Structure 1
Amino acid sequence: MNKKIGILRGINVGGKRKILMADLKLLCEKLGMENVKTYIQSGNLIFNSDKQGFELENALEKGIAQEFGFDVPVIVRTEKELETSINNNSFYDKDVDISQLHLTFLKEKPAKQHIDKVSSLDHEPDKFKIKDKDVFILCEGKYHKSKLSNSFFEKQLKVGATTRNWKTVLKLLELAKN
């Protein structure tokens, strides 16, 4: 069985689309995932499965809709993909305050013309870099005040997205390795 990381978008935010992690874990087990762990209430999963990412994304999205009555976008990465993402972040070095770093996970690799368009827009004081299915963000201030939100990248890149702070990204890899 291969280690996978599931990242759900927009649950348990402001009392909306509420899912208890114990209930999410049970749903994952019903869907055939093994050794399921959750991390914090924002919808982070670590589990074992031999299924491919898109199969797991679809199964989780359908299962959540049936079980809880609302749509939740899900992005799945392998342990190796998450490790590669961490290694690809050129903003991540010993001198940076990791509270300024965020990773926006993209559902799929965006088209070059969309990347070119978003890259030409003014984002100051914040910076970002797109590599494959990841957007690495360096926020000078608070992320919730940045122009570089999930909605911004979904609209500009024409793909689904969800963002995690760097501390969470590192913790997800740590949990996947244990």
Structure 2
Amino acid sequence: MTRWLVMPRGINVGNNNRVPMAELRSALTDAGFEAVVTIGQSGNIIATRSGSEDQVIIEVQSVMADAFGVTVPMVVRQADEVREVLASNPLADVATDYSKYLAIFLSATPAMAEVAALESEDVSPEVVRLIGRTAFVWTPGGVKAMKVSHTALEKRFGGTATARNWNTLMKIATKL
């Protein structure tokens, strides 16, 4: 059995894609997930289940579609991977406000040449580092003004991306 962090993108934002967290926890438990916890209203789901990343995504998407009529992209990580992201903290020397320091989780690892190209670009005042399937972005101007957002990275690398700020990641880590 593996402990997973499931990160749906775009639920409970305004009136769109409404998913009540208590009902989601119940539906996932009924579908065979164990020790289901949600963090916040944006759908950070922590649960235990056997299977691969793809299997977990398919099952959670199926539950959300069947129970709530909501279909959204999502990214998943094993609990140990989330802990590694927090431990690596490659922008610790510049990120002074954790609400403006993001980990953007990618569904696939970009090619080394793509990573090098992005890291060599001037995206100031933002600072970007990519490690594996995670982009670390310090955005001192705030997330609304971001150049290197999850949507920009999806366009650049393909696949799915979703962001969590450092404060949220630290809360998630306490429940893993």
Same fold (TM over 0.5): yes
Deviation at 1:145, TM superposition (A): 1.4
**Correspondences of 1:28-177 after superposition (within 5 Å):** 28-92=28-92, 96-176=96-176
**What's the secondary structure of 1:174's corresponding residue?**
helix
1:61-102 Cα deviation digits (max 9, x unpaired): 222223222321121111111011112221125973322311
Please report the RMSD computed on the Cα atoms of aligned residues, expressed in angstroms: 1.8
For 2:21 and 2:98, locate their aligned partners in 1 and report how far apart those are by CA, in whole Å: 26
Identity across the alignment (%): 29
1:119-146 Cα deviation digits (max 9, x unpaired): 3443111111111110001111111211
For 2:50 and 2:127, locate their aligned partners in 1 and report how far apart those are by CA, in whole Å: 36
Partner of 2:5: 5
Question: Judging changes above 3 Å, is the alpha-carbon distance between structure 1 residues 26 and 95 closer, same or farther for their aligned structure 2 residues?
Answer: closer
For 1:34 and 1:95, locate their aligned partners in 2 and report how far apart those are by CA, in whole Å: 35
Query: Structure 1: which amino acid aligns with 2:123?
Result: H
**What's the secondary structure of 1:170's corresponding residue?**
helix
Query: Structure 1: which amino acid aligns with 2:84?
Result: T
Equivalences, count: 176
| Structure 2: runs of 5+ lacking an equivalent | none
Question: Judging changes above 3 Å, is the alpha-carbon distance between structure 1 residues 8 and 131 closer, same or farther for their aligned structure 2 residues?
Answer: same
| Structure 1: runs of 5+ lacking an equivalent | none
Deviation at 1:172, TM superposition (A): 0.6
**Of 69-78 and 101-110, the range deviating more from structure 2:** 69-78
**What's the secondary structure of 1:66's corresponding residue?**
helix
Deviation at 1:26, TM superposition (A): 1.8
**What's the secondary structure of 1:105's corresponding residue?**
strand
**What's the secondary structure of 1:163's corresponding residue?**
strand
Deviation at 1:12, TM superposition (A): 0.6
Deviation at 1:116, TM superposition (A): 3.6
For 1:92 and 1:159, locate their aligned partners in 2 and report how far apart those are by CA, in whole Å: 27
For 1:23 and 1:74, locate their aligned partners in 2 and report how far apart those are by CA, in whole Å: 18
1:23-43 Cα deviation digits (max 9, x unpaired): 211221122101101110001
**Of 103-112 and 123-132, the range deviating more from structure 2:** 103-112
Which TM-score applies when normalising by structure 1? 0.90
Q: Is contact 1:60-1:74 (8 Å) kept?
A: no
Q: Is contact 2:94-2:138 (8 Å) kept?
A: no
